[in-house]
Amino acid sequence: MNPLLEVQDLSVHFDTEDGIVIAVDGVSFALAPGETLGIVGESGSGKSVTSLAIMRLIKTPPGRIASGAISFEELDLVAASDEAMRDLRGKDVAMIFQDPMTSLNPVLTIGRQITEALELHLGMDPRAARLRAIELLALVGIPSPERRIDDYPHQFSGGMRQRAMIAMAVSCNPKLLIADEPTTALDVTIQAQILELIDRLRRELGMAVIIITHDLGVVAGMADRVFVMYAGRVVESGPTEAIFGDPRMPYTIGLLRSIPRLDDPDDHQLAPIPGTPAGPGQRRDCCAFAPRCGYVQDVCREGVPPLREVGPARHAACLFDVHATVPGP
């Protein structure tokens, strides 16, 4: 099966007063139709910039796609015209952003923000678009959609705003949905509801999903594969069950050990990763995680470790055959 989305050796740079900041450095992956991919990493690891590059939403200047290729089906997204990208966004590829309050237009009703995409991409007349918008609000679990469709974003709670964003994103039955930290600032109960909603819509609509998060626990039950990013690079990748069951990169081990578990029979202590995440000015000619790594040796500072195969469809950017016991997903 041909991939729906293919990213090859993607690098994104930002020009600043202090020089060039490398936000994404040589990221590659492919996504099959209907597949769910989790991209995980701390703030500043490059995961959101990767998604913005796919959508061609990097503000230029100061940002730019410095190298690499991004293809969606037959379309080269790096070389595509602005008109082609406008037609693609919302129709074939949709995105849920981190903060629905800043992503929604405060002076337009929720209904108008949904019907706009339906009229633009599907050619619906205003009446048909309004009826479809009501159906979409009901689909994502918003009560009394016939009444709430005329409300403004400030009249919705955080969880309801996120549901409205999801309704907007899936309104044109996209082939790919990118969810960037879709549960940020929501309480635990609402988080679980939003994740279950995204997974249900994926199954019902047959779309592929990229879910971006700083929390491995978020992707445990819904991603087919996981990519772990650190300092702009992919440092581990593989099937979700394998990543959780046998992490092979010290950074991934640290992320898993920092997840609180209510049902852990061995009562593992939470173990925070020491130090701070790699900054833009950190050395890029060695392992970026070396200053924080408990397995570090001198050789780790002599070059950038490549992603090497450590199992079936599994890769890790570590020079050593690291194994560690961590609580399960």
Report how far residue 178's alpha carbon sits from residue 91's, in angstroms, rounded to the nearest whole number: 13
Q: Tell me which residue has tokens 């209510």.
A: 262
Residue 202: enclosing H or E segment and its boundaries? Answer: helix 188-205
The two tokens of residue 70 are 């991004």
Residue with the bigger pLDDT between 267 and 27: it is 27
Residue range 270-289, pLDDT digits in tens: 777 888 887 665 667 889 99
Please give the C-alpha separations between residue 297 and each of 262, 315, 318, 320, in angstroms, as whole numbers. 35, 20, 11, 10
The pLDDT, as a whole number, for residue 230 is 93
What's the rounded Cα separation, in Å, for the pair 122 and 216? Answer: 36
Token duo for residue 39: 């991209």
User: What does the pLDDT look like over 145-184, one tens digit per residue?
Assistant: 999 999 999 999 888 888 888 888 888 889 999 998 887 7
Q: What is the pLDDT of residue 148?
A: 94
| The pairing of beta strand 5-16 with beta strand 63-72 | antiparallel
DSSP 89: B
pTM for this predicted structure: 0.88
String of b and e for 43-57 (b: at least 16 CB within 10 Å)?
ebbbbbbbbbbbbbe
